[in-house]
Amino acid sequence: MLLFGEGDVTTVVPVVLFAYARPKHLLQTLACLERDKVPLLYVFSDGPRNSEVASRVKTVREILHGISWCKTVVCERDRNWGLGRSILDGVQQVLKIHESVIVFEDDLVCVPGTYQYLCAALHTYAQSPEVFSVTGWTHPRVTPEDVGDQPYFDGRSECWVWGTWARAWQGMDVDALGFIRECKRIGKDIYRYGADLPAMADEEQRKNIWAVRWLYRHIVAGGLCFRPPRTLVEHIGFDADATHASDGSYWSNPPLEPCPAVPSKWPTPIEHPVCPSLWRSACGEEPSWPSRWLNTIRKKLPEPVLNVLRKVKRIVRMLANTNFLRMVLPPVLVAALRPLVRSRGREASEWEYIPEGFGRMETDPAIKGWNVPAVRSSQRSRWTAFSRKLALVGPLGFSFDSEQDTYKNLACHNIVMSYAYVLGLCALESSKISMLDWGGGLGHYGLLNKALYPQLIVDYYCKDVELLVAEGRALNPEVQFCTDEACLNRTYDLVNASTSLQYAKDWSATLQGLARATGRYLFVTQLPVVSNAKSFVFVQRPYQYGYNTEYLAWCLNRQEFLDAAKAARLQLVREFIVGFQPVIKNAPEQNEYQGFLFRPVSAAGNKKEDPRS
């Protein structure tokens, strides 16, 4: 054990770790640092906030004093400083001794090689004054699509596993509101990287947070943050013991991939041009005048009054999410209250009602649809795992989009078993069938066919967007892929539309096309439906699956859908329960996913003859 100040002051980059009262989390973080052979560790152990956590703080300190795999300096706070004050003081102390540091908190873990990757970046840009920080974290929401496997620069800094130099840390004695005043004086846009920043600045002192000060330090000075092409870091602290963390669902990342290679050619320190717009899309644009007016008033109110208003705000938000306000208030007043009830970007829902429908695509740059590189790469990464699971004899309760080794998801099991029933009907009528998989991605239903009915010969066609088709052809050369509606010019024994019809802007016309191509059966499944409300549009934000995009979809009124199917000369054979009921924020009615099996009928009401094309 070293005394503070006796550490190695050479070119070694120390890790500065902040710990509190979560020994299980701490052990995971330390395991990552030990694996990366971190040579020097400074740890700031905060004091207990109350007697209830005192024993856990004691356990944490016993763990810290037991570290033997590297030089360790431990600073034990004699009282509870809180995270913000502790980090500001601790980083400042270490940077008096070392030129650069890498900072961890006790609820962050990283992939192997992260320490070496960030050290290389710190050494490379040590003499680049425009680079203020490096980080091991990014997210599909805010990562430019074209970075590939190379790092990039962003004007917004980070607080999850980050590093900096003493030169960049100078000036951090100014609080966030002071930096905002400086931004306004020199003409910097305080909303350039999202509307959450000014809001956090208002709460810096009350909540004892620190990162918003670091963010505005970058903005005021035009500093850049070096980011990896994909996250190297996972937050494991979204639990009951979290300090300032929410549930984390909005910023949940896809499963961690290996650390990219240290660049042979480092990028020039220039901010990627789309970073500001990505952050505004993720964290909110500049608020409207009612919201700014409310914020101005709020700053002048005493804390007891603010506490009452916060409770009122929570009630109003709850009522807004049930559409109560829309039913009892005039539209003008609802519009005026919207800034009060709107959630900040970091709390945006994965599913949300879009009243303007598909017209939203013209005004929201985040809605990029399915034909994006991130969808292609994420689906490709799941292919091997899905194939492996199908080869096992366990339950089929898993989806293609999940990389977790769990097999007991009832909704997924319903989906597969319902499809097995449909495929079985086809197999009873013939040992060889033709099939069109509409919106079939990489063609994973082809794998499912072989797993369910190995003796059934399926002439398999798959239609999807260009990038997925290109990847599918590389993985599945025996599958016949297409990207346009020319595949509807013939008929098939089975047309499968699984999780796809709802994404068609003109779903009714698409349904008619599918009906014309159906020889025996049309299976429309994983379709979100409601019973009472009219059909409506919602946005899905599938970032947790690694899809760096958002897309619009229909939630269809069940009777409206069945009427459209009847008009397309389809006869309902059977309905299926999926069991998936995602909550769509602000929706006029909550949905459930269902499946529908149809057979086509002729004008005389007889079944079509089976195709052999």
Q: How far is CA 485 from CA 303, 463, 474, 526, 612, in A?
A: 61, 8, 21, 21, 20
List beta partners, residue 347. Answer: none
List beta partners, residue 284. Answer: none
Shared domain check, 337 and 377: no
Whether the predicted pLDDT of 69 surpasses 90: yes
Give the amino acid at 502: Q
Shared domain check, 397 and 379: yes
Query: For position 560, which CATH number holds?
Result: 3.40.50.150
pLDDT band with cut points at 50, 70 and 90 for residue 283? confident
Helix extents (H) in 69-228? 83-95, 114-124, 166-169, 176-186, 196-202, 204-207, 211-221
Reduced 3-state DSSP string for 464-508:
CCHHHHHHHHHHCCCCEEECCHHHHHCCEEEEEEECCHHHCCCHH
**How distant is the alpha carbon of residue 445 from its chain centre?**
25
Domain that holds residue 321: 289-343
DSSP code string of 320-332: HHTTHHHHHS-HH
Q: What percent of the chain has pLDDT over 90?
A: 65
Which value, to the nearest 10 degrees, does the dihedral of the CA atoms of residues 324, 328, 330, 336 take? Answer: -40
Whether the predicted pLDDT of 98 surpasses 90: yes
Task: Give the pair of three-digit tokens for residue 70.
Answer: 């590297």
Shared domain check, 528 and 419: yes
Shared domain check, 327 and 253: no
Mean pLDDT of the chain: 86
Per-residue pLDDT, averaged over 444-450, amounts to 94
pLDDT of residue 3: 42
Shared domain check, 313 and 274: no
Shared domain check, 326 and 228: no
Shared domain check, 330 and 278: no
Give the amino acid at 142: V
416 three-state secondary structure: helix
Shared domain check, 301 and 276: no
**Domain presence at residue 237:** yes
Beta carbons of 522 and 497 less than 8 angstroms apart: yes
Classify residue 177 as exposed, middle or buried by CB count within 10 Å of its CB (0-12, 13-18, 19+). Answer: middle
Instruction: Convert the pLDDT of each residue in 179-220 to its tens digit.
Output: 999 999 999 999 999 888 998 998 898 899 999 999 999 999
Per-residue pLDDT, averaged over 434-452, amounts to 95
Instruction: Convert the pLDDT of each residue in 12-51 to its tens digit.
Output: 999 999 999 999 999 999 999 999 999 999 999 999 999 9
Per-residue pLDDT, averaged over 66-90, amounts to 95
Shared domain check, 272 and 294: no
Whether the predicted pLDDT of 577 surpasses 90: yes
**Domain presence at residue 10:** no
Shared domain check, 232 and 111: yes
Shared domain check, 252 and 317: no
DSSP code string of 249-312: GGGPPPPP-PPPPPPSSPPPS-B-TTHHHHHHHHH--PPPHHHHHHHHHHHTS-HHHHHHHHHH
pLDDT band with cut points at 50, 70 and 90 for residue 290? low
pLDDT band with cut points at 50, 70 and 90 for residue 527? very high
Whether the predicted pLDDT of 344 surpasses 50: no
Whether the predicted pLDDT of 345 surpasses 50: no
Task: Give the pair of three-digit tokens for residue 50.
Answer: 């109350």
Shared domain check, 144 and 26: yes
Number of structural domains in the chain: 3
Q: How many angstroms separate the CA atoms of 14 and 439, rounded?
A: 50
pLDDT of residue 346: 41
Q: How many angstroms separate the CA atoms of 260 and 116, rounded?
A: 11
Q: How many angstroms separate the CA atoms of 22 and 25, rounded?
A: 5
Q: How many angstroms separate the CA atoms of 2 and 170, rounded?
A: 26
R_g over Cα of the chain: 28
Query: For position 72, which CATH number holds?
Result: 3.90.550.10
pLDDT band with cut points at 50, 70 and 90 for residue 165? very high
**Domain presence at residue 584:** yes
Task: Give the pair of three-digit tokens for residue 571.
Answer: 């006869």
